[in-house]
Structure 1
Amino acid sequence: MASALEQLRDMTTVVADTGDVEAVRSLRPVDCTTNPSIILKALQSPAFAALVDAEIADGRATGRDPLAVADALTVGVGAELAGLVPGRVSTEVDANLSFDSEASVAKARALIAAYEAKGILRDRILIKLAATWEGIRAAERLQAEGIDCNLTLIFSLAQAIACADAGVFLISPFVGRITDWYAKAEGRSFAPDEDPGVLSVRRIYDYYKSNGIETVVMGASFRTTGQIKALAGCDRLTISPALLTELAGDETELTAALSPDAATGVAPIPMGEAAFRWAMNGDAMATEKLAEGIRNFDADHRKLLDLIAARLAG
């Protein structure tokens, strides 16, 4: 029998949640991603040693600040990954811009311009933004310019609806982080079919398919292969190398858990700014995990800048 990973590929687009070149080569995902955590690893990876040394040397020679060097490294790693996958590379806008639509748009345009200077066209890139109200508004403007966006840190249906209304290309609901919150709050574990993170993605998927929404649903942040299997059939799933390897060694039969044909016909829900903020206010999990996610992304970004500053000084 084909492995669970091969069976999953027949019903879902598989994305690698990594910037590890060897993992991307061996696991053959369609898409992959970059973020500050991945660039931190790239600074210590032999696979990117030449790129890192060149950007650090150029930064010293031209007097560029750590942020400019970090952006160059991000695009450099993203360009390398774009050469390994047939699909898209998600590239993150700085987390500290999550509540500034204007600055987010400017940063996204700069990243796209840097990719295009390397011959990587915008149809190979997804600009990754946190799904705050301001991030969603930035994505709406970018989408109108032909820059496709990946709205990340999705923890609620309200966020998903606002993203769909904005014409966002793709959203990333975070399964494992939702589960983590409820496991701590309720002091118990969950079987896949009752897992709050799994159920959140199923609810979003059903809403989208019921209403003919084209925005791609990409489940993310998995803790177990059980969660992944419970979302087989979702548009896309972004999976860590460890879990991809586990699925590759699993020969049990996999059946689709999600299908557009099974949409329940849920009615559309209006989602203006007041409704969005009220829904988030009423959802402690979504509010806490969104804020925590932004803080964590920013912490990794600041670590990256500190490390680059040290390399530039050295």
Structure 2
Amino acid sequence: MNNSLLAQLKEMTKVVADTGDLEAIRRFRPEDATTNPSLILQAAQQEDRRERLAVIARESADIDEAVDRVAVEIGTEISELVPGFVSTEVSSRLSFDRDATIKKAHSLIERYARNGVGAERILIKTASTWEGIQAARQLERDGIRTNLTLLFGFAQARACADAGATLISPFVGRILDWHKAQNPDGDFSGENDPGVASVKRIFEYYKAHGYATIVMGASFRNLDEIKHLAGCDRLTISPALLNELDEQQGHLERQLNAAAASESAASPLGEPDFRWAMNDDEMANDKLAEGIRKFMADQKKLEELLGKLRQQ
């Protein structure tokens, strides 16, 4: 009988692979898989993909189309290995453009459909800016499920739930990174980890107010963070940490329990209040902006790679 921490975690939380590595997905058999521009870039740089990428680059009308085709092709491969959702991210360039995000999302879903993957299998990822959240609101009405990512602040979580997003990805490790930089000598172990505390607060708020939006903790720095979020709806975990969980034995105790929540009414968060709350939350404001820049930097590297292949 497998008594690994990973096996126990799967009994209380849906485990999601945070990777585009097909071999890792085959090994750990997650429920879902998530990708982002950085992970797509890593997957695209694998030597066994180079010839196929060159074909895509040359066949595409432009680099923008080539990037979309690569993301959907990798997502399609992943969809054959997991039973649940595959998350595909809209370009970070569109983080502050609601209408362009909606248009791009429909285009990606249509591209998946041509590959035989239905919309019910795909989560369109957008940054948790006000514009990204409002795009998700419309996409959910259009029958396209969404994953709101780069989520660092409670105001973002409230607005995502109000919009009816299928899933949110509150980042744990990057919140910890920010606090460590501000207070290098601070004790951030266990429940003192501000990223862990953030996800717990969101989880308890969602369950207390009856929101259907799935809470999926993301961006982990160590096993301790994962252990302290056991029982969360979903956790998206890198192959390295999945391997550590798989190799460790011992008892894993549930930390979050939806059944313990008692429902109460919640008031919607309007745009002025959202923007003020984000402005007032230095960490969330800093990390959201930084995350968008980093994802965009990796997308530009992918565009450069495809541009070179296009010319060969």
TM-score by length of 1: 0.95
Which residue of structure 2 aligns with residue 133 of structure 1?
Answer: 130
Q: CA deviation at 1:269?
A: 4.2
Q: Are 1:84 and 2:81 counterparts?
A: yes
Letter in 1 for 2:200: R
1:223 to 213, 217, 221: 221
Q: Within 5 A, what are the aligned runs for 1:177-188?
A: 177-187=174-184, 188=186
Instruction: Decide whether the 8 Å contact of 1:149 with 1:170 is kept in 2.
Output: yes
1:225-259 deviation line (CA, Å, top 9, x unaligned)? 00000000000000000000000011010010000
2:209 to 208, 211, 227: 211
In structure 2, the gaps of 5 or more residues are none
Which residue of structure 2 aligns with residue 118 of structure 1?
Answer: 115
Letter in 2 for 1:251: Q
Which residue of structure 2 aligns with residue 99 of structure 1?
Answer: 96
Which residue of structure 1 aligns with residue 44 of structure 2?
Answer: 43
Which residue of structure 1 aligns with residue 190 of structure 2?
Answer: 192
Instruction: Decide whether the 8 Å contact of 2:18 with 2:236 is kept in 1.
Output: yes
Which residue of structure 1 aligns with residue 27 of structure 2?
Answer: 26
Which residue of structure 1 aligns with residue 151 of structure 2?
Answer: 154
Q: Distance in 2 between matches of 1:22 and 1:227?
A: 25
Which residue of structure 1 aligns with residue 309 of structure 2?
Answer: 311
Q: CA deviation at 1:44?
A: 2.4
Instruction: Decide whether the 8 Å contact of 1:32 with 1:90 is kept in 2.
Output: yes
Which residue of structure 1 aligns with residue 139 of structure 2?
Answer: 142
Instruction: Decide whether the 8 Å contact of 2:57 with 2:63 is kept in 1.
Output: no
Q: Distance in 1 between matches of 2:302 and 2:187?
A: 34
Do the aligned partners of residues 170 and 211 (structure 1) sit closer, same or farther apart at CA in structure 2, a change above 3 Å counting?
Answer: same
SS of residue matched to 2:148: strand
1:146-168 deviation line (CA, Å, top 9, x unaligned)? 10000001111110110000010
Identical pairs, percent? 53
Q: Distance in 1 between matches of 2:146 and 2:187?
A: 33
Root-mean-square deviation (CA, aligned residues, Å) is 1.4
Q: Distance in 2 between matches of 1:144 and 1:266?
A: 25
Instruction: Decide whether the 8 Å contact of 2:53 with 2:306 is kept in 1.
Output: no
1:165 to 138, 158, 162: 162
Instruction: Decide whether the 8 Å contact of 1:48 with 1:77 is kept in 2.
Output: no
Q: CA deviation at 1:43?
A: 2.5
Which residue of structure 2 aligns with residue 56 of structure 1?
Answer: 57
Instruction: Decide whether the 8 Å contact of 1:37 with 1:301 is kept in 2.
Output: yes
SS of residue matched to 2:12: coil
SS of residue matched to 1:232: coil
Q: CA deviation at 1:50?
A: 5.0
SS of residue matched to 1:10: helix
Instruction: Decide whether the 8 Å contact of 2:5 with 2:249 is kept in 1.
Output: yes
Q: Distance in 2 between matches of 1:294 and 1:158?
A: 18
Q: CA deviation at 1:266?
A: 6.9
Letter in 1 for 2:223: T
Q: How many residues align?
A: 310
Q: Distance in 2 between matches of 1:313 and 1:34?
A: 27
Q: CA deviation at 1:121?
A: 0.3
Q: Distance in 1 between matches of 2:155 and 2:286?
A: 15
